[in-house]
Amino acid sequence: MVDMAELSAMHGSQASAQRMKKRRSAELRLQIYGILAITLAGAALVALLWSVVFKAAGALTETYVTLPVTLSAQELDPDGTGDPAVIGRADYGGFVKDLLKETFPSVTDRKARREMYDVVSAGAGFELRSKLQDDPSLIGEQIDYPFLASDVTDLYLKGSFGRLLPQPHSGNLSVIPSEDGKTAQILTSSNDFAAALSKVKLELIDQARGLRRQAAMQDAGVREFERRAANATSDEVRTENANQAISRATERDRLIALAEELEGRAASAGGTEQLTRTAPTVLVRVDQGWVKLTEINATGGVGRVVLPIEQTDALPADDWKMYLTDLPENARKISDNQIVLIEDLMARGAVETVFNTRFFSAGDSREPELAGLWGAIVGSFWTMLVTFLLAFPIGVGAAIYLEEFAPKNKLTDFIEVNINNLAAVPSIVFGLLGLAVFLGFFGVPRSSPLAGGIVLALMTLPTIIIASRAAIRAVPPSIRDAALGIGASRLQTSFHHVLPLAMPGILTGTIIGMAQALGETAPLIMIGMVAFIVDIPTGVTDSATVLPVQVFRWSDFPERAFEARTAAAICVLLVFLVIMNALAVFLRKRFERRW
């Protein structure tokens, strides 16, 4: 028998103090873990949002190149009909190219011309066409028309391909163009190009390092074959391995000699270096004329004329400029020619950056500068509409039936378990179901919001049913008793009393389910909503895509400009999700009733 008085004496003993200490430190540890976890999650969220928003900022502006253009009637509407159909048939792509050729008459060779055409978007001609179709009276006029810049131009202006770094210089410049005007000799009176030269030489050290690495590999080969030769059992094998070792040693020595030569060039001041595609670009500018150096020494070099330059002698330092790019040409999507043309257009004041309304009003496009999100937003709207119209009434109806009317037996238990299981089914399975049943059997149009909406409704149903049942169950039974007690039928009780009280919870669950559906990609891929669709859908049977699928598609495109658009699309999606969740919170607070 335990003596309770003895037990009570144990309170406050040393052991109990020890236990207390342990308990307190365990509690403290738990708190610290909790705070750490929350901090970590918060930091991850902030980092995610910051990176997405930061990337998305690039999609918020677009660039136009405004050029004076003569809308020659002869070219665009030879018969002067003023008929939009006739005007539409003209070759606007060629028209824009001709305009660029006129703007830069000195650009003549094929490759340079192709690069020049790339400064302006491929869609610029189509825009001009629709403008003229809307207003045929412009034909024959001369106007300043803003041509949409290409993604490359836009990205260059946003600094994605590095910057042109003006270099300090003090000497007087002499330019001696060659006879055909394609190259030019550059000379300054002081060592203005020494800094650029040493930058180019850094490149040499890099190359030498690479060569030495290769040499080391060859050296390893030499030793391996020498070992094999030493261990060889037959003369034949020994000779073969020895020969291998010798050829590798030769190669090693050649590489080392090359590396040493490069290192020697890098170490010595002065000298002349070739500028390859892997070296930073050195540009010299005199007014409208640009020369790209192909050969550099401390006081100048030889260059290719990009835009024509007058012969000059002893041009003072303030009248010429020297630039260095921070990325070599092969490390960026934009060529040196294009940089020069864009810089020239900027100097003319023809380049203008404006807010990108197109992104929020246009449909999808292969050209990043033409691509917009509106098609996906409208597609999402139609899809969500179908989802809501199907999932809400069916879900709430099922919840009311199961909670208020259904007998509690094995069958309803089975149904309940399966509804809960359905909520955990991977969403792509619903896509497969939609593909097999709705597209395959019922012939719902592929890629349509109708098909997507049905599939997402299936996916959302369990969420809505579970949330609605919880909300209905939370209505106190006394309300049901009260209604039944004065002679309301079960239907009247459910619809007049239970449902209005459960509605905030039901709506919250529905909106959460809809938000989940809005962000869903996988099932829609199965039913063909990943297709490339340019047109804005006008109904539930048109082909369409939705926001998350658009994000998925854009993230897959190789063009760099889609990176910013992907991030911007994610932001738009997030904004919609936040709005929906805020709406859920608002509805809950607004219609919450106490009893």
Pair 535, 363: CB distance under 8 Å: yes
For the CB of residue 478, give the shortest distance to other proteins in the complex, in Å.
4
SS3 per residue for 153-191: HHHHHCCCCCCEEECCCCCCEEEEECCCCCEEEEEECCC
Q: Which is nearer to other proteins, 11 or 589 (by Cβ)?
A: 589
For the CB of residue 493, give the shortest distance to other proteins in the complex, in Å.
9
For the CB of residue 407, give the shortest distance to other proteins in the complex, in Å.
6
Q: Which is nearer to other proteins, 231 or 478 (by Cβ)?
A: 478
Q: Which is nearer to other proteins, 470 or 488 (by Cβ)?
A: 488
Q: Which is nearer to other proteins, 349 or 407 (by Cβ)?
A: 407
For the CB of residue 489, give the shortest distance to other proteins in the complex, in Å.
5
Q: Which is nearer to other proteins, 25 or 489 (by Cβ)?
A: 489
Close Cβ partners of 174 (under 8 Å, ≥ 6 residues apart): 185, 186, 187, 188, 312, 313, 314, 315
For the CB of residue 409, give the shortest distance to other proteins in the complex, in Å.
9
For the CB of residue 591, give the shortest distance to other proteins in the complex, in Å.
11
By DSSP bridging, strand 273-274 and strand 312-315 are unpaired
CA neighbours closer than 13 Å in the CB half-sphere of residue 580: 21
Q: Which is nearer to other proteins, 277 or 496 (by Cβ)?
A: 496
Pair 131, 87: CB distance under 8 Å: no
The whole-angstrom separation of Cα 401 and Cα 404 is 5
The whole-angstrom separation of Cα 205 and Cα 189 is 28
Q: Which is nearer to other proteins, 391 or 471 (by Cβ)?
A: 471
Q: Quick check: helix, strand or coil at residue 550?
A: helix
Q: Which is nearer to other proteins, 8 or 409 (by Cβ)?
A: 409
Close Cβ partners of 66 (under 8 Å, ≥ 6 residues apart): 144, 145, 146, 147, 350, 351, 352
For the CB of residue 404, give the shortest distance to other proteins in the complex, in Å.
10
Q: Which is nearer to other proteins, 190 or 492 (by Cβ)?
A: 492
Q: Contact positions toward other proteins, by CB under 8 A? A: 407-408, 476, 478-489, 492, 496-497, 501, 593-595
> Of 341, 324, 450, 292, nearest to 386 (Cα)?
450
Q: Which is nearer to other proteins, 397 or 485 (by Cβ)?
A: 485
Pair 321, 166: CB distance under 8 Å: yes
**Residue 91 φ/ψ, nearest 5 degrees:** -90, 90
For the CB of residue 487, give the shortest distance to other proteins in the complex, in Å.
3
Tell the burial category of 28 from Cβ atoms under 10 Å away from its Cβ (0-12, 13-18, 19+). Answer: exposed
The whole-angstrom separation of Cα 101 and Cα 120 is 12
Close Cβ partners of 382 (under 8 Å, ≥ 6 residues apart): 449, 453, 537, 539, 540, 542, 544
For the CB of residue 484, give the shortest distance to other proteins in the complex, in Å.
6
Number of residues that make up the chain: 595
For the CB of residue 485, give the shortest distance to other proteins in the complex, in Å.
4
Sign of the alpha-carbon torsion through 293, 297, 300, 301: negative
For the CB of residue 408, give the shortest distance to other proteins in the complex, in Å.
6
Q: Which is nearer to other proteins, 223 or 496 (by Cβ)?
A: 496
SS3 per residue for 1-66: CCCHHHHHHCCCCHHHHHHHHHHHHHHHHHHHHHHHHHHHHHHHHHHHHHHHHHHHHHHHEEEEEE
For the CB of residue 474, give the shortest distance to other proteins in the complex, in Å.
13
Q: Which is nearer to other proteins, 57 or 488 (by Cβ)?
A: 488
DSSP string computed for 193-237: THHHHHHHHHHHHHHHHHHHHHHHHHHHHHHHHHHHHHH-SSHHH
Q: Quick check: helix, strand or coil at residue 130?
A: helix
